[in-house]
Structure 1
Amino acid sequence: MSEGRMQRQLSIDMEVLYRQHSRRVLASLVRRVCDFDLAEESMHEAFAIALDRWPQQGLPDNPTAWLVTTGYHRAIDRLRRRARFEHASDPLLDELESAPVDVDQAIEDDELRLIFTCCHPELAFTSRLALTLREVCGLTTEEIARAFLLKPTTVAQRIVRAKARLRDRQVAFSAPESSELAERLDTVLHVIYLMFTEGYSTSSGEEATRAELSSEAIRLGRRLCELVADADCFGLLALMLLQESRRSARTDASGNLVLLADQNRQLWDSRLIEEGLDWLWQALEAGEIGAFTLQAAIAAEHARAGSSEQTRWDRISALYDVLVDVSPTPVVRLNRAVAISMHQGAEAGMALIDELLESGKLSDYHRLHVARAEMHYRLGQQARAVESWHRALLLTSHPREQELLQRRIDEISKG
């Protein structure tokens, strides 16, 4: 193998290792140094050192622990340099130098601790979500902005202010007491689901999915269910498992996206479906039915259907009627419109889509225009369908979604 090819392979391997370990490393360093920026800088230094040493020395038995330990020492070095430059003592440096580097199984829970810290009630709800998605899940500001339908500059400002508020209020980087758990739980659940969603259907990059991100969200969901016997926790885990069961069928051999109606259901993971249905049953038995449990019940209807034609759209529409009362967001209203179009006909769904467009809340959301295009097509309005697909094509920047939409436009235009 040539030296250039070896370097390219090494770069790819390190990218994989970064995606696998960086979230846990950063979470562990934040807990230890109590500073987001210092932890992030030290983590990147640790990965740079790994890039230099691991090809010669081999991969450590525990790469995460190695990176945490190395990052911890780099943080101390940074603080020492800062103290020498400012000619002043640093209480944090004194504390870190005297504390043992307790790299152990606690790493497994550090992400969950950091999520609860970022979801502190001192922060506004949207700031909690943005901060956690950036610092814990590793999403870029642009990816978070797309998830919230906001400008990247707005999201960046919220993250900076959130960090400053946690620092100024001297918030402890630890799991909350049981009495404080309830007020943070709802945000934590939303963060884990947004993390899963980004892995299940990425908002940027060449790949259609990021399996390691959704897998980590499911791991955190399972851990949360162990710690908190809550109906919403069970419902969220059920929803993620049922959606994850379709992963193998969501793309073809070339990596192209495959729509739900066209997926080979033989490829769906029956083990994950069974586990998801078990958690859904526990959620239904546990108490008040929340938004995640309702969404899991909708996903369960798809999982139970042997084919697209056998899908019980009457049940799904009824579930969306309840969900829109519990969570009346524009996206839920859009999904309800699609379900109603499948149950009552495209005209009924189109009327609801037009209401959403008139409200202006989703006018730049490409999936609304995709749904509108499909309804136009079913009504025999091919020119309008192509127009809506073109509109959707302009509004999405993801190459896999662009390819899917262009294929659809080409198919209809040729027909």
Structure 2
Amino acid sequence: MNCGKIVDIDERSALIKYLDEIPYANLLLVDVDNFSNFNNMYGFDFGDRVLIEISRLIDISKPALSRVFRINFDEFAIVNLEMLDTKQLSNMAESMISFFNQIDIDVDDISVKASISVGISIGKGNNILNHARTAIKELREHSRGSSKIYDSNSEFIKKQKENVYWINKLRDAFENESLQPFFQPIINNKTKKIEKYECLVRIRDEETIISPYRFMEVSKLTGTLSLVTRTMIEQSFKMFSNNDYEFSINITNADLYLNYLENFLLKQSRKYNINPSRVVLEILEDIDSLDSPEILSQLNSLRYHGFKIAIDDFGSRSSNFSRLLEFSPDYLKIDGSFIKNILEDKNSLIIVESIVFLCKKSNIKIIAEFVHSAEVQAKIEELEIDYSQGYYFGEPKAEINYT
């Protein structure tokens, strides 16, 4: 591994102690961009020697009257005690970035370049270290090899605070068992009757019902998507153990990569005495994932046990019709944006007609989502789409309508 780990810990502690002792500081956090590439291409010994040279160059290019702390193997904190405005600090950072862009680092007859990103914060206490690191995270959403001054009012910071709020809300939902499925009916367009339901995750927060739009992204960030899916599966199986409806549950690529679904679904089927043929697993239209032999094998094994597969939101991304035909799911759900605009937008109608033609030829049942009016439903029936789902027939509810 790269050298200096013990030194880094000491330097980090020294930095925090120093920041706590001084009344005011400018902090420039220098992070080497994509440093792992040096290790991957040339080995850790080479990377260690590059780091030694980078340390020397930072010491040369740092602003005058500044102190340098190496706080991680590829991260350096420069503390300056002068009274400087943001323009002066930005100029300092850009000067360092420009210096590195023009310098070749020579190690073992190999010449490389190292670019840096600089996060800038101003204030007192060791919080300015976190602020500078946040500034680097923000700038790296758009670029590298640049600088950014921490701004507590930026949209990025607001988003970070919002994420923290929803992380806590999701954690509370798990602890209080307030994560639950809501059920939206799906209509057979020939019989005009409810034939199946989609199970949609919600958080019940006292009298407020929170949609997944608010919390699923942080579930992905925190690695809890599979916990959401497990909760949905168990609660949905329990609900449908008292009736004969078919029901669908959304699964994610994270669930497939963890490869737990088959055992868990079969266990719930036995527990609640539900035939797997009543269960539809909806996967998003990430058809590229079907290139993975492991995922394809897993889905085929689930189908072997009787579970059905639906491709959700088809058409919302770059649809690969050839992969769709190879996999041949049981159901295909047309992305709701096309259904919503099918009466006004000629292109939406053409896309829907093409999908319907393909599915009819391939014996794939079609579900139209976001059906919101009698006029749209009439068009859906004219196109001979098998099923309809949307607020025209019913919004998602915590209970099932047995009529």
TM-score, normalising length: structure 1 = 0.26
Query: Radius of gyration: which is bigger?
Result: 2
Flag the structure with more relative contact order, 1 or 2, with Cα contacts below 8 A and sequence separation at least 6.
2
Compare the two structures and name the one with the higher helix fraction: 1
